[in-house]
Amino acid sequence: MVYKVLISDPLSEDGIQPLREAENIEVTMKTDFTPEELALHIGEYDALLVRSQTKVTREIIEQAKRLKIIGRAGVGVDNIDLDAATEHGVIVVNAPDGNTNSAAEHTIAMLMSLARKIPQAFYALKHQKWDRKSHVGVELKNKTLGVIGMGRIGVEVAARAKGQRMNVIAYDPFLTEEKADKLGVDYGSVEDVVQKADFITVHTPLLKETRHLINKDAFEKMKDGVQIINCARGGIIDEDALYEAIVNKKVAGAALDVFEEEPAVNHKLLELPEVIATPHLGASTIEAQENVAIDVSHDVVHFLTGGLATNPVNLPSVPSEVMKKIEPYFRLSEKLGTFLTYLAEEAIEEISIYYAGDLTDVQVAPLTRNTIKGLLKRHLGEHVNDVNASFLAEKKGITINEQKTSTSKGFTNLLTVQVKTSKTTRTVAGTLLNGLGARIVKVDNYSVDVIPEGHLLFIRHKDQPGAIGRVGSLLAEHDVNIATMQVGRSDVGGDAIMMLTIDKHLEKEVLEQLINVTDIYAVNAIDL
Ligand SMILES: NC(=O)C1=CN([C@@H]2O[C@H](COP(=O)(O)OP(=O)(O)OC[C@H]3O[C@@H](n4cnc5c(N)ncnc54)[C@H](O)[C@@H]3O)[C@@H](O)[C@H]2O)C=CC1
Ligand SMILES: O=C(O)C(=O)COP(=O)(O)O
């Protein structure tokens, strides 16, 4: 199998070496596709790598029949329709750390350029004007920098601003007073930051909650002569409100690296002499580009070759030490889910997954997703995966319960899956036996011991002499060899079960004949 990877924005050639060197991966770099051309060609690719330029819309994702992974060589994923990706089972990964330093340095460069009007002075000089009086700046020392968003970049900007002898006041929903103390910054609300700062810089993602976070109201509360920096995302600051605030002399200057719509040429803000700008260059350094391309290429290679992504955006990331503990259960959890699809004869309304023993100490969400994947895949097809399993279950109106319990029934680990339909509740439980691998240990109320692989027959019957023999004979007549067989019963002469492993898939006509054998109530032929 050769995986085809499309790179649709310029990425560092050194950074994509992991992709170029990987076996079975063919890389195409094509950075001039129009949206229509991308929609036309995306169906050929297994992976798509982008920066902020390519808009990965729902329309594109709907055409991407082979696509498994979208790699964002950078932080912001607002150019990717994450819901559409999730619905289509496409994992999105980013490279959150590689450009932090460059973005922070660019912010400081903008702050200093703004304070000293360097771009305006240079522009005048380029136009033969030796103009010193229009370009009088302000010092940063002892001024207050307001930082909104103290994530990776915000924290780095704050540290550098302190190096300029500035006071820093910061707001972030995850910033505590204690943490602010440790970072040597003042802790405040958005209001405090807005009211007290001489310079305000934003470093949040663009979300519903942060869209126009800095708006007309906010500008009104600011100090006269405040200066604004946005090296995060266009849209965090309301551009119309900023324009008004500059024209009304409330805001003395603004430095913008990002815009609500990009590319932003002929933007009205660019006509104002108080505004300096760069065309989204925060991450545009040799180092950052190499870092993010390496990180995202590694994730794409790992993922395409069956490994796990380090920086998933539309799946909760799982620390590697946790992953090591739960990975052995992946196969078992999926098989238990698949097993139950054969037992549930009506539509599944509720799935409950119980984790016991060693499994109570770990993060089990990936196992839950895997179980649901097993439950849905048989009927919905191969496109069901970890990314879209929960979404698809919810869309089908299936309630999902996940619970850790102390009842491990003597097993060191026990994974029990139960499904409810309008008529019945069916249960299967499995365990990982030390050194022996996975076993199904319970079906409904019956204890069994069977490897969850291959072809199984689960038969419910009346506990009567001859029932087992009749099943054996019928299978022999059809050349079906029995590899293992277990029986169990509730009480003598009552309900009983047989669990067989057979050497081949049971044909439909044999199954129908088996169901008609005397004393047999139900037969499930299960292919795992
Ligand atoms: N101009 C450029 O080229 C670059 C821009 N960026 C952008 O910079 C921004 C920050 O990136 P990182 O620091 O890496 O992200 P991050 O995820 O480490 O930090 C974002 C912070 O914003 C905080 N936040 C969320 N909602 C908030 C709110 N309503 N008020 C205050 N804080 C809020 C979060 O709690 C988080 O701590 C992102 O928008 C990213 O896309 C990143 C790299 C380069
Ligand atoms: O990483 C980010 O969020 C950025 O904004 C960088 O964008 P870029 O990769 O330079 O198009």
**pLDDT (mean) for 155-164:** 98
Indicate the pLDDT class of residue 176, thresholds 50, 70 and 90: confident
**Residue 218 pLDDT level (bands cut at 50, 70, 90):** very high
* Sequence-distant (≥ 6) Cβ neighbours of residue 129 within 8 angstroms: none
Q: How far is the CA of 258 from the centre of ligand 2 (A)?
A: 10
Q: Is the dihedral of CA 367, 368, 373, 376 positive or negative?
A: positive
- Answer yes or no: 211 catalytic: no
pLDDT above 90 as % of the chain: 86
Contact 210, 204 (CB under 8 A): yes
Query: Please, which pLDDT band fits residue 289 given cuts at 50, 70 and 90?
Result: very high
Residue 99 in this model has a pLDDT that exceeds 90: yes
Whether the pLDDT of residue 316 is over 80: the answer is no
Whether 367 is in the pocket of ligand 1, judged by its Cβ within 6 Å, is no
| Cβ within 8 Å of residue 346, ≥6 positions away | 421, 422, 423, 424
362 CA from centroid of ligand 1 (Å): 30
Which residue's CA lies nearest to atom 2 of ligand 1? 282
Q: Is the CB of 203 under 6 A from ligand 1?
A: yes
State the Cα–Cα distance between residues 351 and 341, nearest whole angstrom.
Answer: 11
Q: Is 280 considered catalytic here?
A: yes
Q: Compute φ and ψ for 146, nearest 5 degrees.
A: -95, 125
Nearest CA to ligand 2 atom 11: 52
What separation in Å is there between the alpha carbon of 367 and the centre of ligand 1?
Answer: 30
Given 262, 327, 350, 402, the catalytic residue:
262
Looking at residue 84, its pLDDT comes to 94
Q: Exposure string (b/e) for 93-116, b if CB count within 10 Å is 16 or more?
A: bbbbebbbbbbbbbbbbbbebbbb
Q: Is the pLDDT of residue 198 over 90?
A: yes
pLDDT tens-digit series, residues 222-257:
999 999 999 999 999 999 999 999 999 999 999 999
457 forms beta bridges with: 500, 525
Handedness of CA 400, 404, 409, 414 (dihedral sign): positive
pLDDT at residue 407 in the model: 81
The residue that leads in pLDDT, 410 or 8, is 8
Residue 379 scores a pLDDT above 90: no
pLDDT reported for residue 380? 85
15 pocket-lining for ligand 2 (C-beta < 6 Å): no
Phi, psi of 277 (to 5 degrees): -155, 155
Q: Which of 88, 106, 267, 280 is catalytic?
A: 280
**pLDDT (average), residues 115-136:** 98
Q: When comparing pLDDT for 167 and 209, which is higher? A: 167
Using 50, 70 and 90 to split pLDDT, how confident is the model at 323?
confident
Q: Which ligand is the nearest neighbour of the Cα of 209? A: 1
Average pLDDT over residues 194-216: 96
Confidence check: pLDDT of 273 > 90: yes
Burial of 321 by CB count in 10 Å (0-12 exposed, 13-18 middle, 19+ buried)? exposed
201: Cβ contacts below 8 Å, ≥ 6 apart: 107, 111, 145, 146, 147, 148, 154, 157, 228, 229, 230, 231
Among 38-47, 287-296, 325-334, the least confident range: 325-334
Which pLDDT band holds residue 59 (cuts at 50, 70, 90)? very high
284 CB near ligand 2 (under 6 Å): yes
Give residue 502's identity as a one-letter amino acid code: I
pLDDT-based confidence at 435, cuts 50/70/90?
confident
Nearest atom within ligand 1 for CA of residue 97: 14
Residues 489-500 pLDDT 10s: 888 889 999 999
Q: Confidence band (pLDDT; 50, 70, 90) for 95? A: very high
Mean pLDDT over 99-108 rounds to 98
Cα of 49 vs centre of ligand 2, distance in Å, is 13
**Which pair of tokens denotes residue 475?**
């299978």
Is 233 one of the annotated active-site residues of the chain?
yes
What is the phi/psi pair of residue 400, to 5°?
A: -115, 125
Give the per-residue pLDDT at 306. Answer: 81
Selecting among 233, 298, 369, 426, the annotated active-site residue is: 233
Look at residue 317 and tell me whether its pLDDT is greater than 80: no
Report CA(393)–ligand 2 centroid distance (Å).
34
Report the first-to-last Cα separation within the chain, whole angstroms.
24
Distance CA 253, CA 53 (A): 27
CA gap 332, 437 in Å, rounded: 9
- For the stretch 406-434, pLDDT in tens is 888 889 999 999 999 989 999 999 999 98
The predicted structure's pLDDT at residue 251: 98
**What domains lie within the chain, and their CATH numbers?**
3-96+287-315 (3.40.50.720), 100-277 (3.40.50.720), 318-453 (3.30.1330.90), 455-528 (3.30.70.260)
